[in-house]
Amino acid sequence: MSVKIRLARTGKKKAPFYRVVATDTRSPRDGRFIEILGRYNPRTDPSTIEIDVERVDAWLGKGAQMSETVAKLYAIAKDPEAAQAPTGKTAESAKDKARAEAEEKAKEEAKEAAAKPEPEEPAETEEAPAEEEVPSEDAVEEAPAEEAAPEEAEEAPAEAEASEDASNEADKE
């Protein structure tokens, strides 16, 4: 007969409460067991873990195997300081971890930026005014075109007046 130390679920629907039991591996999860070794309540804050460490050690000495979950709970029961550390993955711990990673990344980027020598910007600004003072060829060519446009605009109203006079004379006849 192979013995396993595992959790057996008890409690109400959507309100789990677990017993740590030594059971035959062929028995159902919540079925027959050999001995109750402790309790685990995940619904309290922090989770309540009560395990009889001496009895678990006795069963391990006889060749019993622990489930992964019971092994984690057993480690916490043996070391009370570990019980104070957050267990399991919660949304808050995931957010805290993401924030810490983002802060570390920002620090690394700042260090890299500080390590790189920056080019001198005053040399670039001295060249920029020189370019602005010299007019480009396009600007020189556009200036005569602008001067020609006002003359044409003056001729257009004169022609319009002449055509109006001619149409008025035609009406009189």
Task: Give the CATH number of domain 3-84.
Answer: 3.30.1320.10
Residues 70-108 have pLDDT tens digits of: 999 999 888 877 555 555 555 566 667 778 888 888 887
CA angle (22, 23, 27) in 5-degree steps: 160
**How do beta strands 15-24 and 3-12 pair?**
antiparallel
Mean pLDDT per 10-residue interval, the chain, length 173 residues:
89 91 87 89 89 90 91 86 55 70 81 70 53 56 53 56 60 58
pTM: 0.46
Task: Measure the CA angle with vertex 34, ends 87 and 79; round to 5°.
Answer: 30
